[in-house]
Amino acid sequence: MFLTDTDLEAIALTLRLASVTTLILFTVGTPIAWWLARTRSRWKGPVGAVVALPLVLPPSVLGFYLLVTMGPNGAVGAVTEALGIGLLPFTFWGLVVGSVFYSLPFMVQPVQNAFEAFGERPLEAAATLGASPLDRFFTVALPLALPGFVTAGILSFAHTVGEFGVVLMIGGNIPGLTRVASVQIYDYVEALEYGNAHRLAAVLLVFSFLVLLVLYSWRPDRRRV
């Protein structure tokens, strides 16, 4: 076969992780993006810097601090154990937490830019017609920002698929539980199984190219002449 059963298992886990992470990011990232786009608070700069931090922070650093925080001696670990959830490191949901933090800027920044692009006038017009703040958000802001949401969703999903350092630090390398496609490639290289590594890497390469092709080809706001 082109891919082994272990490869398919790793790909399935990767796609599951990317799907769950993207859905959570839509929920968490949208209010953050909205606040950053509309606020004039002095905290906008620091909050924006924290959101963008994964863009420049080494994945191993982020993964290490998340591992410590979610571990038995960490604040989050103490809470999850008290709630009977158990510790999150080396579990699928630990991977989800790490992926949400690591892919957060890929969700927030495109959505924030989309919110900023249409300005205040459409919202003010809706307000004069009696629309409440919630109505203005759902009936005006969200439709106008739809291209930004599509871009953010695609980028967040693709970025999660390509993660390595964070997921390795938090999840380790447990087959069927935390071994995603990038870690599977790493295993092949360590074992000098370059043929298997080539095949799985080619799948991720083609996927990444198709994602970029869609992003650079799809421009719903581009004027046709």
Q: Which of 47, 218, 33, 44 is nearest to 107 (CA)?
A: 33
pLDDT at 47 over 80: yes
The answer to which of 33-37, 108-112, 116-120 has the lowest mean pLDDT is 116-120
Most confident of 103-107, 202-206, 219-223: 103-107
pLDDT of residue 225: 36
pLDDT of residue 9: 94
Phi-psi region of 122 (alpha: psi -120 to 50; beta: other; left: phi over 0): alpha
Separation CA 164–CA 158 (nearest Å): 13
Amino acid at 81: E
pLDDT, averaged across the chain: 90
Question: Which residues have a Cβ under 8 Å from the Cβ of 109 and sit 6 or more positions away?
Answer: 33, 51, 52, 152
Q: Which of 156, 152, 182 is nearest to 13 (CA)?
A: 182
| pLDDT, tens digit (0-9, with 9 covering 90-100), for 2-37 | 888 899 999 999 999 999 999 999 999 999 999 999
Separation CA 88–CA 78 (nearest Å): 11
